[in-house]
């Protein structure tokens, strides 16, 4: 197996955790040709923009990227480079699995659920402005289309079947947002009728947040709109031990970008203590996706072996990073997973 992948180290803890993921992929015996590319705040001084044209060209060519987190100025400045990349490549499905690990102490055991988030519409459409120069009020428009809802919900039904799962819960707020969330829900109900083999449930988002905290094991796969998915997937990360453990995939018809759920973690950046697990598991998701797409069993097997090595190292407990109760460095945990392979 030999593949070319755009590698974006990103900002904050990005370069630290991406290095660990690269080491692990290589230890798994995968021959990846990495095309390094800049993006985010760290690209601005060198390229004058958070999304350089060369980076877009590289992703366009390779149709595949492994990406560290990118910083976005809060409340001002340029728009999110993450949102822009997802829109540019129409990466409409954001898949965020959360599974408990033996060795990581949490309130619940046996959590195994997946949040599938619509990644291009809703309140992240970027249609937002202040209504006057004095900034006395602002408005933001949520855009939901039937086509956009259909493709993400259909993706979720197929995900349930392909991954031998049972139940799909559609999360909405159609009691208040009768048109936008209403359209998403109506589309889901229509598609549910075409997938009688998948148990379909619907739940209002506020109740869903409470139910997830109270009894996460009642859930299997969840599908929801952009903002709700963003928030609920951080919540599900918390259930299994935090953002250091949760991987993510941004999937489109033409390209895919794999990244951890977490951000740049400015509070620990540069200290060498970030947990690389989420980024390593994102790399494993990438290999499994490659395996499915190119019918390459060796890629899928490498992804499975990386997941097993991560589980083994976390269960052994000797090299845990501080966020999950240990004292190990990013590099030590990465080395341990590479050695376990």
- Starting at the edge strand found earlier in the chain, the sheet holding 2-8 runs 31-36, 2-8, 64-67, 256-260, 247-251, 93-99, 112-118, 221-224, 167-172, 199-204
> Which of 263, 303, 326, 334 contacts ligand NAD by CB under 6 A?
263
Task: Give the separation between CA 171 and CA 142, rounded to whole angstroms.
Answer: 16
> Can you read off the two tokens belonging to residue 115?
């949040």
Task: Select from 273, 258, 256, 264 the least CA-distant residue to 306.
Answer: 258
Among 50, 69, 103, 216, binds ligand NAD (CB under 6 A): 69
In the complex with ligand NAD, the residue whose CB is nearer, 198 or 249, is: 249
Catalytic residue among 67, 92, 124, 159: 124
**Does residue 70 belong to the site contacting ligand NAD (CB under 6 A)?**
yes
Binding residues for ligand NAD restricted to 240-259, rule: CB under 6 A:
243-244, 259
Active site residue 335: no
In the set 67, 92, 173, 234, the catalytic residue is 173
265 binds ligand NAD (CB under 6 A): yes
Q: Shortest Cβ distance from residue 264 to ligand NAD (Å)?
A: 4
Q: Does 181 bind ligand NAD (CB under 6 A)?
A: no
Choice from 222, 223, 274, 340 touching ligand NAD (CB under 6 A) = 274
Closest to ligand NAD by CB, 264 or 319: 264
Candidates 282, 210, 241; CA nearest to 109 is 241
Q: Which is catalytic among the residues 78, 108, 206, 271?
A: 206
- Specify whether the CB–CB gap between 264 and 294 falls below 8 A: no
| 3-state class (DSSP) for residue 320 | coil
Question: Among all residues, whose Cβ is closest to ligand NAD?
Answer: 263
How far is the CA of 140 from the CAs of 77, 84, 294, in angstroms? Answer: 17, 17, 40
Q: Which residues bind ligand NAD (CB under 6 A)?
A: 13, 17, 69-72, 82, 243-244, 259, 262-268, 274-275, 278, 323
């Amino acid at each position: 197996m030999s593949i070319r992948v755009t590698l974006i180290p990103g900002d904050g803890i990005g370069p630290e955790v991406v290095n660990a993921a690269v080491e692990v992929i290589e230890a798994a015996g995968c021959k990846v040709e990495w095309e390094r590319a800049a993006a985010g705040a760290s690209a601005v001084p060198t390229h004058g923009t958070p999304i350089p044209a060369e980076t877009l060209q590289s992703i366009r060519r390779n149709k595949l990227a492994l990406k560290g987190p990118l910083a976005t100025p809060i409340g001002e400045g340029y728009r999110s480079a993450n949102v822009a990349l997802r829109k540019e490549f129409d990466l409409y499905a954001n898949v965020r699995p959360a599974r408990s690990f033996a060795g990581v102490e949490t309130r619940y055991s046996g959590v195994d659920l997946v949040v599938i988030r619509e990644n291009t519409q809703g309140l992240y459409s970027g249609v937002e402005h202040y209504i006057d120069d004095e900034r006395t009020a602002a408005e933001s428009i949520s855009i939901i289309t039937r086509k956009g809802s259909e493709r993400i919900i259909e993706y979720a039904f197929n995900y349930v079947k392909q991954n031998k799962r049972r139940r799909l819960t559609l999360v909405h707020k159609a009691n208040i947002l009768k048109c936008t969330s209403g359209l998403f829900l109506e589309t889901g109900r229509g598609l549910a009728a075409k997938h009688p083999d998948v148990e379909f449930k619907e739940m209002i988002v506020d109740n869903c947040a409470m139910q997830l905290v109270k009894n996460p094991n009642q859930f299997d796969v969840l599908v929801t709109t952009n903002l709700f998915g963003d928030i609920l997937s951080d919540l599900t990360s918390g259930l299994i031990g935090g953002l250091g453990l949760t991987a993510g995939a941004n999937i489109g018809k033409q390209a895919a970008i794999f990244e951890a759920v977490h951000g740049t973690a400015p509070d620990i950046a540069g200290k060498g203590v970030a947990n690389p697990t989420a980024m390593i598991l994102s790399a494993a998701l990438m290999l499994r996706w490659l395996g499915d797409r190119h019918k390459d069993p060796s890629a899928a097997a490498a992804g499975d072996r990386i997941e097993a090595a991560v589980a083994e190292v976390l269960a052994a407990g000797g090299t845990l990073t501080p966020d999950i109760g240990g004292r190990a460095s990013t590099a030590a945990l990465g080395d341990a997973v590479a050695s376990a392979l």
